[in-house]
């Protein structure tokens, strides 16, 4: 079986990817490498060069983009920051050309399956009918997250769609042609079980934005500490925020509470070992998301470390957490004070969770091998039909 996994996002370039947060890119590389180990002939199609073990890497023509950078004396990241419209315009050209090239190569017999894997598939949708081989789509945001997605995705509900959670499907019409639901996965040896965590803290790991509910985690830990003065915990926040006075959420709802006692900001964690230490030593991971999470990679990273999860019942969070087995699910209430109270109560009760059971559930449901085997089965079914 010959499969093209197409990731047309411009961040898929060895000069950009290490400097940005783009988990779909990492997942695509893991999927390509894992499928190769399963005996699939994989080509990872990306705008720029990417190292991928066991698979081929097919890149786009970046000459016009590179000429623009050279003329300005900018790097990719500098151009994105200084002239985002110019950057996006050039990126969309590259994406369209890459998708057209892969469809053409599939028609020539180079691929049996084309898998459009990231959120730029709105370009690929209207031209999928021109591809003679099966095309399947994976989207990594809620389907109704942006206006452009809401407008175009339902028009193409009859194409082949893969969801990353059952919850994600709610953003598409009920009669969408779902060919599978595949949870993300991690290599089992990426993280290890931490049976005896050393840190007396609750961890938050992710983007520091309003929809992720970081302010709820802050207030929940503060309330818990007021109610339990003999066994206080700290909230440690890791992740990126938008700096500057324009970021009112950071300036008004997060920064004033960072005091090194109840709340500490530890910055952006890049290194796997740093993440192992941060998650593995946490009393629990808190996911107070207010928006409909389509999945949430940090949750399975925590489970791989044996760390239980406290999460609101948003989106796919209840699909990942097994109540009172790997974590506690807190219902979203209409008023934030009630949510905060319920999160604080969950902190009191999270100690009942067996960390070994968290790791066991990760190994049963969220490994890279399981993810790759599930994709291969979908590809085979599409090819046979």
| pLDDT the model gives residue 194 | 96
**Residue 289 to residue 30: CA distance in whole angstroms:** 26
Is pLDDT at 40 greater than 90 in this prediction?
Answer: yes
21 — pLDDT class (breaks 50, 70, 90): confident
CA angle 143, 94, 8 (to 5 degrees): 40
Fold classification of 2-185+367-384 is: Rossmann fold (3.40.50)
Q: Find residue 267's DSSP bridge partners.
A: 238
Q: How many CA atoms lie within 13 A of 179 on its CB side?
A: 23
Q: What is the pLDDT of residues 306-330, one digit of tens each?
A: 999 999 999 999 999 999 999 999 9
196 CB burial (10 A radius; 0-12, 13-18, 19+): exposed
Fold classification of 201-365 is: Rossmann fold (3.40.50)
| Cβ 293 vs Cβ 211: under 8 Å | no
22 — pLDDT class (breaks 50, 70, 90): confident
| pLDDT the model gives residue 95 | 94
Report which of 71, 70, 47, 69 is spatially closest to residue 58, judged by C-alpha positions: 47
| pLDDT the model gives residue 245 | 60
- Residue 156 is classified by DSSP as G
| pLDDT the model gives residue 357 | 98
Is pLDDT at 90 greater than 80 in this prediction?
Answer: yes
Mean pLDDT of the chain: 94
Report which of 344, 317, 343, 349 is spatially closest to residue 330, judged by C-alpha positions: 343
Q: Give the H/E segment covering residue 301.
A: helix 297-305
* Beta carbons within 8 Å of 151's beta carbon, 6+ residues apart: none
Is pLDDT at 186 greater than 80 in this prediction?
Answer: yes
Give the mean pLDDT of 115-121: 89
Q: What is the pLDDT of residues 126-169, one digit of tens each?
A: 999 999 999 999 999 999 888 888 899 999 999 999 999 999 99
Give the mean pLDDT of 9-19: 90
What's the first-to-final CA gap in the chain, in angstroms? Answer: 14
Task: Copy the structure tokens of residue 216.
Answer: 């709820």
243 — pLDDT class (breaks 50, 70, 90): low
Report which of 52, 56, 63 is spatially closest to residue 14, judged by C-alpha positions: 52
| Cβ 3 vs Cβ 112: under 8 Å | yes
Give the mean pLDDT of 235-260: 87
| Cβ 165 vs Cβ 316: under 8 Å | yes
Measured from the Cβ of residue 351, the count of other Cβ atoms closer than 10 Å reads 10
* Whole-structure pTM value: 0.93
Q: What is the pLDDT of residues 41-59, one digit of tens each?
A: 999 999 999 999 999 999 9
Give the mean pLDDT of 205-214: 94
Is pLDDT at 246 greater than 70 in this prediction?
Answer: no
Residue identified by tokens 């049963």 is 364
CATH 3.40.50.2000 maps onto the chain at 2-185+367-384, 201-365
Is pLDDT at 18 greater than 90 in this prediction?
Answer: no
């Amino acid at each position: 079986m010959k499969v093209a996994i197409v990731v047309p996002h411009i961040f898929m370039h060895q000069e950009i990817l290490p400097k940005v947060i783009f988990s779909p890119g990492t997942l695509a590389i893991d999927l390509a490498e894992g499928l190769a180990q399963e005996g699939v002939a994989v080509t990872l199609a990306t705008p720029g060069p990417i190292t991928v073990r066991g698979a081929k890497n097919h890149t786009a023509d970046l000459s016009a983009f590179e000429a623009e950078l050279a003329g300005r004396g900018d790097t990719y990241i500098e151009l994105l920051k200084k002239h985002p419209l110019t950057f996006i315009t050039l990126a969309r050209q590259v994406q369209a050309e890459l998708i057209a090239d892969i469809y053409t190569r599939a028609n020539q017999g180079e691929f049996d399956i084309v898998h459009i894997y990231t959120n730029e598939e709105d370009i690929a949708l209207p031209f999928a009918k021109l591809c003679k081989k099966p095309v399947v789509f994976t989207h990594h945001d809620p389907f109704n997250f942006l206006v452009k997605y809401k407008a175009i995705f339902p028009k193409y509900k009859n194409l082949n769609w893969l969801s990353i959670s059952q919850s994600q499907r709610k953003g598409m019409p009920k009669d969408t042609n779902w060919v599978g639901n595949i949870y993300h996965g991690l290599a089992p040896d990426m993280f290890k079980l931490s049976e005896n965590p050393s840190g007396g803290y609750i961890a938050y790991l992710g983007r520091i934005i309003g929809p992720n509910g970081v302010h709820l985690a802050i207030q929940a830990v503060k309330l818990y500490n007021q109610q339990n003065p003999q066994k206080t915990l700290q909230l440690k926040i890791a992740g990126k925020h938008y700096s500057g006075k324009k970021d009112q959420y950071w300036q008004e709802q997060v920064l004033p509470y960072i005091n090194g006692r109840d709340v500490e900001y530890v910055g952006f964690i890049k290194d796997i070992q740093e993440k192992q230490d941060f998650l593995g030593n946490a009393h629990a991971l808190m996911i107070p998301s207010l928006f409909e999470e389509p999945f949430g990679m940090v949750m399975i990273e925590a489970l791989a470390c044996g760390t239980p999860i406290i999460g609101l019942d948003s989106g796919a969070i209840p699909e990942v957490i097994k109540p009172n087995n790997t974590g506690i699910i807190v219902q979203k209430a209409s008023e934030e004070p009630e949510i905060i109270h319920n999160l604080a109560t969950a902190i009191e009760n999270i100690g009942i969770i067996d960390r070994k059971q968290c790791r066991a559930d990760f190994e049963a449901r969220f490994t890279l091998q399981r993810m790759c085997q599930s994709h291969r089965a979908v590809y085979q079914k599409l090819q046979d039909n």
